[in-house]
Amino acid sequence: MAEVDPHALSEEDFHAEVHSFQFWLEAVEGYLGGTDFGFDPNLTDEEFSESELNYLVTTLCNYCVAEQAALQASSGMISFAPAPDAAIFLSTQVVDEGRHLEVFVHRLKMLGIEDPWQEITARSNQSLLKFKDRLLEFVDQRDWEAAIFVQNVILEAMEFTVFQAHAATADPITSGILTGVAKDERRHMGFGENDLGRKLKQAPHTRTRLNRITAELNPLVLSTFSEIAEELKIDTEDLGISSNYLATIERLGFST
């Protein structure tokens, strides 16, 4: 295998490389190879108290809501992606989101939930459902800037932050699943921030409209953050909201 210095690639070659399906295949092979539904199959489950189990199930149900939103949105966005490489990248994201939903549902079954889909409906966080509806409206309107902003910047940054914080305190099986999912989220989040950053440079007037969307959705995002933090008994400081989610919004020049 020939070594390649990535920093010596031209910008064009770099973008072509990281947006390719081939890059995705070789990247996920590194951390998903040998896993079974996203975790080491040699691990065995630990004992949970009734309340621990209850909180974990609620949290996993809400992860499923977020992943369903991302799966529906990213697949819908392929049809109006502004460039072929963006469409190819989104196709890898669709595969990732489908896998995330599958591994979380599988985890719910492992925890004794007989009908995970019914449980997801029953335990859904209302703020997250409103957020999902708004995202899918932007996709229906084929509004690329709003959809990429809400999904790949806001939703992905929120998921990345929460999954990383949860992985640090979760039982080994849930932690393994979350760690793998967070690695996928790095790509989705980075794609969104970079695509939107370039668009904002070319069309600065878009910022005003997206600022209104940030103001509308921020309360939903922050309320979801705090509800999940409460369920997981994690201090919101530990979630690193200011250093992750808000830092992303700030880098793109939006007010929070």
**Would you count residue 242 as binding other proteins (CB under 8 A)?**
no
Beta-carbon count within 10 A of 121 CB:
13
Count of residues in contact with other proteins, rule CB under 8 A? 37
- Pick one of 118, 121, 194, 256: the residue that binds other proteins (CB under 8 A): 194
Tokens of 79: 């049809």
Nearer residue to other proteins within complex by CB, 44 or 201: 201
**Would you count residue 1 as binding other proteins (CB under 8 A)?**
yes
The full length of the chain comes to 256
Segment 20 to 79, residues that bind other proteins, using CB under 8 A = 23, 26-27, 30-31
- Pick one of 183, 220, 231, 245: the residue that binds other proteins (CB under 8 A): 183
CA nearest to 186, candidates 248, 251, 107: 248
Tokens of 201: 């440079």
Nearer residue to other proteins within complex by CB, 144 or 160: 160
Beta-carbon count within 10 A of 187 CB:
21
Beta-carbon count within 10 A of 101 CB:
19
Tokens of 203: 């069309």
> In the complex, which residues of this chain contact other proteins (CB under 8 A)?
1-11, 14-15, 17-19, 23, 26-27, 30-31, 160, 183, 186-187, 189-191, 193-194, 197-198, 200-201, 247-248, 251
